[in-house]
Chains A and B, each alone.
Chain A
Amino acid sequence: MTALSDVSTHAMASARWRISEVAFWVLALACAFLFPSRYLIMTDIVRLGLFALSLDLILGYAGIVSLGHAAFFGVGAYSAGLLALHGIINEPVIALVAAGLVAAVLGFLTSFLVIRGADLTRLMVTLGIALLLEALAERFSDITGGTDGLQGIEMQPILGLFAFDMFGKTGFLYSLIVLFVLFLLARRVVHSPFGLSLRAIRNNPLRAAAIGVPVNRRLIAVYTLAAFYAGIAGALFTQTTALASLDVFAFERSADLMLVLVIGGTGYLYGGLIGAVVFKMLQELFQSITPQYWLFWIGLVLVVIVMVGRARIHRLVLFVPNLIIRQFAGRKAAVAVPESEAS
């Protein structure tokens, strides 16, 4: 067997759908019927999961540390809000794609700034772009509504058929479907040769360039794609809450997002989704214990995760499920720790 066919069989094998994955999505859908009173928070989780998926594409797969991913979320949110407010595109799904495309254009333009320089420069540039957009949104308050945010957004029914109801059931199912479709796309992308080349770049850009991977072009492409995802997440935020305010650009949003991804684990697509569930539950827990000071506990979780070591925590958490799977299925564990953590 040649090395090339070996690589492709390996890639094909890892791209195959597993039972646990199917179970995950069935469970997600079942939530819609199991907890009919918790639609709002579940929508929140789905949105956050999509946003984290977006960050995972650039952080987990391409190794770009971004502190300003909220920039694209915010652009998506404001685009969707403005489109709906001025009645430019009334149909939510088309507006969603349009908002995603606006974010993607911004992502494409800023990617040239981001691929230059080392980690520190990237951190600063991404953070600077998010702050810049926040300042812009505040400055052009006649368009964005300034600190009051966009008000009076009325969403039309999805595809002209399903109206948003006040309990948020439509919103939840809509978000879940959007997440699922985009997840399928992301899954296809990361298991493609393109996705494999991204991982090569993350592990060693110099070596990747030496074997003929066009490093910069790949990074630009994945950054644009991630911006598209983040824009869609932002648009979902506006569409399901009928709200867009300056805090969509806030630094805390980007920082929380990193925590979500770190809880779930970087470098595999379910990391963001699982992280979103755990993060929201933690947040709810802390907010019910100390409504005002939950930020402290979130910070403590971050510090503890880093001090103990991210890989070690994931191994601990996955120890029991993997043991069970090994016992019963008699094969390698389905949910594995990503082979190498992003640096």
Chain B
Amino acid sequence: MASILTNLFDGVAYGMLLFVLACGLAVTLGLMNFVNLAHGAFAMAGGYICAVLVNNSGWPFFAALPLAFVGSAVIGIALERTLYRHLYSRSHLDQVLFSIGLVFMSVAAVDYIMGSSRVFIKLPAALEGQIDLFGVGIGRYRLMIVVICGLLTLALQLILAKTRFGSRLRAAVDDPRAAIGLGINVPQVFAFTFAFGCGLAGLGGALSAEILGLDPYFPLKFMIYFLIVVTVGGSSSITGPFLASLLLGIADVAGKYYVPKVGPFVIYTVMIVILLWRPNGLFGRTAAR
């Protein structure tokens, strides 16, 4: 019984991590309809920034996390302004080719700079080990992930629903032309959103180094997971991808624990079935364009 709960908790932590990693993609892919397979590269950038700061420069872990966010966001906005924005109106094939090219470049570049072996981030002692909660073993690190990611999700939901920027973004996504007509600077809103999504991915990358492992092939290995979160979750709200990540996280952890041999098999099958059953995602409203 206790092991079931521990697994469940691990799954929730894993799912929340996936959500933070992928929610930027939910905006670019789901809302702006841009197929960005290179999203994992931004996550990897954040992870390596954090690793370098903590391991080489001796920064405390919690101080390096915001830097991972900022670093990835800066890289994201630089690429958005120079390259991505020319591709919004191009065909999906072009977008796929372009982002695969970016992934390849990032993989080789990180391999060149940082080496090909897996990188570990030194964690503060307070985050190691487990605490016992009503007889259920809960990893401290995972608990921290759940807290951070939960707060982030709440904040995102509030920003989208309550702030002026959130309503601008929703307007820009629903109908860019009408939004421009109303005086909303749509390219700026998109650029800012893109950068914010990249920043979140970077933060997720830094947090996930301990759980998912950080090496140059990170963007390729987890690309499918991010895509699953977005396509299965749908793009009409932030709740869809959130629930999809939780589902994926719990299913993946449970699959690896209870049926280790068919774990990945189950996930891909479920994904294909869901996409066939509801091509716009489990929680999607808008038609896939």
* Chain A interfacial positions (CB closer than 8 Å to B): 59, 65, 67, 113, 116-121, 123-125, 127-129, 131-132, 135-136, 139, 251-252, 255, 258-259, 262, 292-303, 305-307, 310, 341-343
Does B271 belong to the interface (CB within 8 Å)? Answer: yes
**Chain B at the A interface: mostly helix, strand, loop or mixed?**
helix
Q: How far is the CB of A146 from chain B (nearest CB, A)?
A: 11
Q: How far is the CB of A287 from chain B (nearest CB, A)?
A: 12
Q: How far is the CB of A51 from chain B (nearest CB, A)?
A: 17
Residue tally, chain B, CB below 8 Å to A = 44
> In the bound complex, how far is the Cα of B276 from the Cα of A116, in angstroms?
7
Q: Is the CB–CB distance between B101 and A120 below 8 Å?
A: no
> In the bound complex, how far is the Cα of B37 from the Cα of A127, in angstroms?
12
Which residues of A sit under 8 angstroms from B119, Cβ to Cβ? none
Closest 6 CB pairs of A and B: A302-B101, A299-B104, A296-B108, A299-B105, A303-B101, A117-B279
Q: Is the CB–CB distance between B276 and A135 below 8 Å?
A: no
> In the bound complex, how far is the Cα of B231 from the Cα of A128, in angstroms?
12
Does B269 belong to the interface (CB within 8 Å)? Answer: yes
Q: How far is the CB of A88 from chain B (nearest CB, A)?
A: 26
Q: How far is the CB of A105 from chain B (nearest CB, A)?
A: 18
Given A293-B111, A296-B112: A310 and B272 interface contact (C-beta under 8 Å): no
Q: How far is the CB of B232 from chain A (nearest CB, A)?
A: 9
Contact segment of B60-68, B87-95, B127-135, B167-175: B87-95
Give the contacting residue for B231; candidates A65, A121, A295, A302; CB below 8 A. A121
Q: Is the CB–CB distance between A117 and B264 below 8 Å?
A: no
Give the contacting residue for A298; candidates B87, B104, B231, B271; CB below 8 A. B104
Q: Is the CB–CB distance between A127 and B105 below 8 Å?
A: no
Q: Is the CB–CB distance between B227 and A124 below 8 Å?
A: yes
> In the bound complex, how far is the Cα of B108 from the Cα of A65, in angstroms?
25
* 9 cross-chain CB contacts under 8 A: A120-B29, A123-B92, A125-B276, A132-B268, A132-B272, A292-B112, A296-B108, A300-B105, A303-B83
> In the bound complex, how far is the Cα of B231 from the Cα of A268, in angstroms?
32
Does B102 belong to the interface (CB within 8 Å)? Answer: yes
Give the contacting residue for A117; candidates B90, B102, B275; CB below 8 A. B275
Does B86 belong to the interface (CB within 8 Å)? Answer: yes
